[in-house]
Amino acid sequence: MQTESADRCHQVVIIGGGSAGITVAASLLRRRPELDVAIVEPSSQHYYQPAFTLVGGGTYALDNTRRAIRDVVPKGATLIQAAVTALAPDDNAVQLDDGQRLGYSQLVMVPGIKLDWGRVDGLAATLGKNGVCSNYSPGTVRYTWQCLDAFSGGNAIFTQPPPLKCAGAPQKIAYLAADHVKRKGLGDKSTLKFYSGGGALFSVPAFVPPLERVARRHGVEVILSHDLVAVDGERKVATFEMQNAEGEKTRVEQDFDLLHVTPHQCAPDFIAQSPLAGAGGWVEVDKATTQHVRYPNVFSLGDASSLPTSKTLAAVRKQAPVTVKNLLANIDGKALTAQYDGYTSCPLVTDYGRVMIAEFIYDGVVTPTLPLDPFKETRFYWWVKKHFLPAFYWKQMLTGREWDIAHKPRKTS
Ligand SMILES: Cc1cc2nc3c(=O)[nH]c(=O)nc-3n(C[C@H](O)[C@H](O)[C@H](O)COP(=O)(O)OP(=O)(O)OC[C@H]3O[C@@H](n4cnc5c(N)ncnc54)[C@H](O)[C@@H]3O)c2cc1C
């Protein structure tokens, strides 16, 4: 099955050593230690990104979100430190940026999402100065806290484009900022605005009213259908584009003292330009089995996949065992029986000390793990977000241990 023109071949090649890549590799090797698994990953670091929100809020150390990639690659897997530049699924091969061509029998596509900082005019030049910050990258997240800590009143603006990973993250930092501003006694001197390019505050309608109440409580004005298109850091002006029902576009300018930007996000170019891509450029997989719809020896999960659910690490945790079982069945020539139901979850930080956890499956059906009110902000869930989940990630999920409590649909009214 492997291509003859490849420089080297592995039985299973995993593209990306992020949350999905390491979890799948560890789980595969736990079940079948003799497998020949290679992980292609250009970065020397691995990050637990969900804690970036807390780093930006000044309540978590960036160092605690990262490990050396070599320390998280499971024993028995081969790490190839390179980036994939092109895909040749008809030859069962991928092209690496070091010039090598890598062959495979089974391919797992998990290179994450592309952060498109260049989509907003002027953003790249001013990010990290002039009060323009972002929790979305390890290189910029500490500046968010510097900006918040130094904020002495004025306009604090938060943006959200569609689509994005962790659709709650742009709101979380807005609520932390509002709480911080209030604690510093700057409430009367400050205006907080949340601009979303989408038409709703959250994708699952059941969570919209409780989140609107949180925004109102914090005095955060929510402005929908406004997409950030330009930033002038020197003048401290952000420009938003809005489109009316007739498709006419108008632009509005907004002064800021602090601007937290969530970058536009899209499928990585090398996927979008490949035969693996479907609509939107994502790896086109079956929504239940995670197997590619045209190439049966290709699987995908996580942010780069077409799985029609909210892109989160919590989703990866439930997708990974499904991919692993089905990939092994595929190697064995058996039917693929494991099914993913669209589970995803977003711990919505609503102030310093409280969290509401939005858990749902396909079609927006609310499915909490614990028998607690899913729309209530609690201190218990703050503890889960800040302490339990990071430890669980490093010790359980990344090591391929699939400890789980089944989520269940519950009445929401
Ligand atoms: C600010 C923020 C807050 C978040 N909050 C939460 C939360 O509270 N809860 C939650 O569940 N999720 C949250 N997430 C989302 C979560 O982190 C992602 O959904 C998750 O990491 C996706 O895993 P992945 O493996 O698909 O992608 P990633 O973990 O991003 O990994 C992708 C890997 O692929 C590598 N790669 C990229 N290009 C190539 C290439 N060409 N060749 C080879 N490798 C490549 C990258 O270097 C990276 O290591 C948050 C994310 C952010 C940024």
Please tell me the predicted confidence (pLDDT) of residue 413. 55
Same domain? For 220 and 335 the reply is no
Encoded tokens for 385: 């977000």
- Span 73-94, pLDDT tens digits: 999 999 999 999 999 999 999 9
pLDDT band at 403 (very low <50, low <70, confident <90, very high): confident
143 domain-assigned: yes
Can you tell me which atom of ligand 1 is nearest the CA of 305? 26
Cα 412 to ligand 1 centre (Å): 30
What would the mean pLDDT of 276-303 be, rounded to a whole number? 98
Cα 303 to ligand 1 centre (Å): 7
Residues lining ligand 1, judged by CB closer than 6 Å?
15-21, 40-43, 49-50, 52-53, 83-84, 110-112, 135-136, 165-166, 169, 268, 270, 302-304, 311-314, 316, 346-347
What would the mean pLDDT of 367-383 be, rounded to a whole number? 96
| Pocket mutation for ligand 1, best pick of 48, 49, 316 (most atoms within 8 Å of C-beta) | 49
| Pocket mutation for ligand 1, best pick of 13, 19, 310 (most atoms within 8 Å of C-beta) | 19
Same domain? For 237 and 329 the reply is no
What are the DSSP E strand ranges found in 69-113? Answer: 78-80, 84-88, 93-96, 101-109
pLDDT band at 411 (very low <50, low <70, confident <90, very high): low
pLDDT band at 246 (very low <50, low <70, confident <90, very high): confident
What are residue 10's phi and psi, to 5 degrees?
A: -135, 155
According to DSSP, residue 73 is labeled S
Same domain? For 256 and 130 the reply is yes
Please tell me the predicted confidence (pLDDT) of residue 4. 47
Please tell me the predicted confidence (pLDDT) of residue 162. 86
Domain count, the chain: 2
Q: Exposure string (b/e) for 340-362, b if CB count within 10 Å is 16 or more?
A: bbbbbbbbbbbbeebbbbbbbbe
User: Per-residue pLDDT for 338 more than 60?
Assistant: yes
What are the DSSP E strand ranges found in 161-263? Answer: 190-196, 220-223, 226-232, 237-243, 249-255, 258-260
Domain boundary among 247, 264, 281: 264
392 domain-assigned: no
- Span 344-364, pLDDT tens digits: 999 999 999 999 999 999 999
Please tell me the predicted confidence (pLDDT) of residue 352. 98
CA distance 314 to 388: 13
- Span 125-144, pLDDT tens digits: 999 999 999 999 999 999 99
Protein residue with least CA distance to atom 37, ligand 1: 111
Please tell me the predicted confidence (pLDDT) of residue 410. 72
Same domain? For 134 and 254 the reply is yes
Tell me the CB-side half-sphere exposure of residue 194, using CA atoms within 13 A: 27
pLDDT band at 97 (very low <50, low <70, confident <90, very high): very high
Report the CATH number that the domain containing residue 271 is assigned in CATH.
3.50.50.60
347 domain-assigned: no
Please tell me the predicted confidence (pLDDT) of residue 3. 40
Instruction: Tell me whether residue 147 is one of the annotated catalytic residues.
Output: no
What would the mean pLDDT of 300-318 be, rounded to a whole number? 98
21 domain-assigned: yes
Cα 183 to ligand 1 centre (Å): 32
Burial (CB < 10 A; 0-12, 13-18, 19+), residue 105, is middle
What would the mean pLDDT of 105-123 be, rounded to a whole number? 98
Same domain? For 92 and 140 the reply is no
* Average model confidence (pLDDT) across the chain: 96
352 domain-assigned: no
Burial (CB < 10 A; 0-12, 13-18, 19+), residue 278, is middle
Catalytic residue among 9, 133, 147, 346: 346
Domain boundary among 310, 342, 374: 342
Domain boundary among 230, 246, 264: 264
User: Per-residue pLDDT for 1 more than 50?
Assistant: no
Minimum mean pLDDT range among 53-67, 84-98, 242-256, 276-290: 242-256
Structural domain for 162, as ranges? 122-264
Encoded tokens for 69: 């990639």
Please tell me the predicted confidence (pLDDT) of residue 243. 83
Catalytic residue among 9, 133, 147, 166: 166
Same domain? For 297 and 310 the reply is yes
Same domain? For 18 and 135 the reply is no
What would the mean pLDDT of 279-289 be, rounded to a whole number? 97
